Structure 1
């Protein structure tokens, strides 16, 4: 059976995952790229290095965001959302954005391949040491579909 996710189900899918895909478009070019994210009910938060994705979103901040949960080809849920990219530049904004992201991602980082340095001190030192671009996307429209057998 195919169907539409209601708002509560859409929010659940967005809150429960940490890998999604951003679709951006600039200079007659479309780019879709996977990202690690955190969702706070209004914004998608992310952190990345300078590159094509950031360059394109700075030129055209209107983006698409997609996540999916796939149990098998007949049992899945997918959410597509649209929103506006915003770079978090002030130290306070960067710190808050990274804190939200770290709180979502850190519980899933479990081994040497996912942790690049010891976390024995605190998340605070990790957040302060992080370089790169911190951003958020305000989700303004969301839709979801599912298939269930």
Structure 2
């Protein structure tokens, strides 16, 4: 059976995952790239280095975001959302963005090597926030589909 996800199901998918894809478009080029993210019910938060994705989103902040759960070819859920990129520039914004990301992602990192890199104090979050680009995407429209056999 194919169907549409309701708002509660869409929110569940977005809150439960940490890997999604951003689609951005500028200068007659479309670019889709996977990201690690955290969702707070309003924004998708991300952290990255300078590169094509950031260059494109700075030129055209209107983006598409996709996240999916695929159990198999006949059992899956997919959410597509549209929104606006916003770079977090002040130290306070950057630290708060990194806190949201690390609070979501770090508990899911269970390997021996990843645990040694976990944040043990807010000072480490401050250091991480000073490196790279911290950003968020305000979601303005969301839709979802599923298949279940």
Question: TM-score when scaled to structure 2?
Answer: 0.95
- Are 2:96 and 1:103 aligned? no
Return closer, same or farther for 1:129/1:78 CA change in 2, 3 Å cut-off. Answer: same
- Are 2:131 and 1:146 aligned? no
**1:101, 1:137 → 2: CA distance?**
13
- Within 5 Å, give how 1:12-51 maps onto structure 2: 12-51=12-51
Query: Contact 2:78/2:145 (CA < 8 Å) preserved in 1?
Result: yes
Q: Which residue of 2 aligns with 1:136?
A: 136
What do you get for the CA RMSD once the two structures are aligned? 1.2
Return closer, same or farther for 1:118/1:66 CA change in 2, 3 Å cut-off. Answer: closer
Q: Which residue of 2 aligns with 1:126?
A: 124
Return closer, same or farther for 1:113/1:89 CA change in 2, 3 Å cut-off. Answer: same
**1:69, 1:22 → 2: CA distance?**
16
**2:35, 2:114 → 1: CA distance?**
15
Q: Could you tell me which runs of 5 or more consecutive residues in structure 1 were left unpaired when the two chains were aligned.
A: none
**2:31, 2:21 → 1: CA distance?**
10
Query: Contact 2:106/2:118 (CA < 8 Å) preserved in 1?
Result: no
**1:53, 1:67 → 2: CA distance?**
17
Q: Which residue of 1 aligns with 2:77?
A: 77
1:43-83, Cα deviation, whole Å (9 max, x unpaired): 00000000000000000000000000000000000000000
**1:137, 1:81 → 2: CA distance?**
10
Q: Work out the number of aligned pairs and report it.
A: 147
Shift of 1:109: 1.4
Q: Could you tell me which runs of 5 or more consecutive residues in structure 2 were left unpaired when the two chains were aligned.
A: none
